[in-house]
Amino acid sequence: MSAILQLENVSKSYDGVPAVRAVDLQVADGERLAIIGPNGAGKSTLFGTIAGEHRPTTGRVLVNGRDVTKHRSSTRAVAGMSRTFQVARLMSTMTVRENVFLAALTGGRRGVRWWDTLRSHREVWDETDLALADAGLLELSDTVASSLAQGARKTLEMAMAVVQRPAILLLDEPTAGMGYEDARAATAQLKALLDQRRDMTIILTAHDMEVIHSLAERVVLMANGEVVLEGTPDYVARHETTKTLYLGQGAS
Ligand SMILES: Nc1ncnc2c1ncn2[C@@H]1O[C@H](COP(=O)(O)OP(=O)(O)OP(=O)(O)O)[C@@H](O)[C@H]1O
Ligand SMILES: [Mg+2]
């Protein structure tokens, strides 16, 4: 299988303090990878270097063999990368439907192709409504984003990322801040949504083992900025290293 994403010796420091240290990683086209690790392990920072929000202090990021290390996140979006954030980022005064419409209209590869500006808005609204249905958000279509509960905010952000048809979807803690019931429902919803798009490569971070077991095929464990273990979800979950690292921290 060909690698859609490669990290070579990627490090990232904040004011000289290392948060990610010499990470090498290959992600195959269509793979579903989870990056796990205790709080402060460097998961979100690693995500930032993949998505282009942070320029790595050392190393290279390659998408389909092409060096994108110096490309900003907007350029990487054009190359087919879309992400969600640990804390959802939405247009808070707009409705759920308007948020998804805007994502469909302007997001990813689409917004920059001149012929797309000629596409009728009707077509984009149709795509929007399909995305809302797929994400189970139809009932909340006319709700203003600022009044959504945490779980629905995350689902909306997910729908906005998926409607952009990314080749690589990056999900940072898709169930962060949710209670047990909401997290279970959101995971099932997300799995259904993603299973319709088997061609999409998915990289997610999570603490929640149920999220990892239901969404990931391979797991990379990070600690202190480094990759310390990798394997199937079962292998990593049962490994002593994982248990030791998570000991006393609880799921969050
Ligand atoms: N913008 C920043 N400026 C300075 N230090 C930062 C910044 N973001 C993260 N850090 C530090 O980098 C380290 C890694 O943080 P990061 O957020 O990547 O971890 P994480 O694995 O995503 O943690 P969590 O599970 O809590 O989300 C931590 O020590 C953190 O304090
Ligand atoms: Mg994080």
Average pLDDT rounded to a whole number, residues 184-202: 86
Residue bearing the bigger pLDDT, 227 or 113: 227
- Please give the pLDDT value at position 246: 83
Lining ligand 1 with CB less than 6 A are 14, 19, 37, 39-45, 86
**φ, ψ of residue 242 in degrees (nearest 5):** -65, -45
Note the pLDDT of residue 201. 93
Task: Say if CB 172 and CB 204 are below 8 A apart.
Answer: yes
Q: Is the Cβ–Cβ distance between 223 and 230 less than 8 Å?
A: no
Whether residue 140 has pLDDT greater than 90: yes
The encoded tokens of residue 47 equal: 């995500």
User: From ligand 1's centre to the CA of 44, what distance in Å?
Assistant: 7
| Residue where the block lists tokens 């061609």 | 199
Phi, psi of 78 (to 5 degrees): -65, -35
* Count of helices and strands (H, E) across the chain: 9, 10
**Could you tell me what percent of the chain has a pLDDT over 70?**
90
Give the separation between CA 193 and CA 59, rounded to whole angstroms: 34
The angle formed by the CA atoms of residues 15, 20 and 25, to the nearest 5 degrees, is 150
Rg over alpha carbons for the chain, rounded to the nearest Å, is 18
Burial of 112 (0-12, 13-18, 19+ CB in 10 A): middle
Q: Identify the residue with better confidence: 235 or 150.
A: 235
Nearest CA to ligand 1 atom 3: 14
Report whether 137 contacts 152 (CB < 8 A): yes
Chosen CATH of 3-246 out of 3.40.50.300, 3.30.1180.20, 3.30.420.40, 3.40.50.1400: 3.40.50.300
pLDDT at 88 exceeding the cut of 50: yes
- CA–centroid distance, 89 to ligand 2, in Å, is 15
The confidence score (pLDDT) of residue 3 equals 92
Q: Measured in angstroms, how far is the CA atom of residue 115 from the centroid of ligand 1?
A: 40
pLDDT at 124 over 90: no
Residue 192 has pLDDT above 80, yes or no: yes
- Distance CA(126)–CA(124), nearest Å, equals 5
Model confidence at 149, in pLDDT bands (50, 70, 90)?
confident
**pLDDT of 115:** 56
What was the pLDDT predicted at 196?
A: 82
Lowest mean pLDDT among 43-52, 82-91, 234-243: 82-91
Nearest to 135 by CA among 172, 86, 99: 99
pLDDT of residue 17: 96
pLDDT at residue 144 in the model: 97
What is the predicted pLDDT for the residue at 77? 75
Mean pLDDT, residues 98-121: 68
Ion ligand 2 neighbours (CB, 5 A) are: 43-44, 86
In percent, the amount of the chain with pLDDT more than 90 equals 51
189 or 142, which is more confident: 142
Please state at what angle helix 180-195 crosses helix 150-162, rounded to 10 degrees: 10
The predicted pLDDT at position 161 comes to: 86
Distance 113 CA to ligand 1 centre (A): 35
Under the banding of pLDDT at 50, 70 and 90, the label for residue 222 is very high
Return the pLDDT at 251.
Answer: 45
User: Taking the domains of the chain in order of start, what are their residue ranges?
Assistant: 3-246
Position 111 scores a pLDDT of 47
The model's confidence at residue 182, banded by pLDDT at 50, 70 and 90, is confident
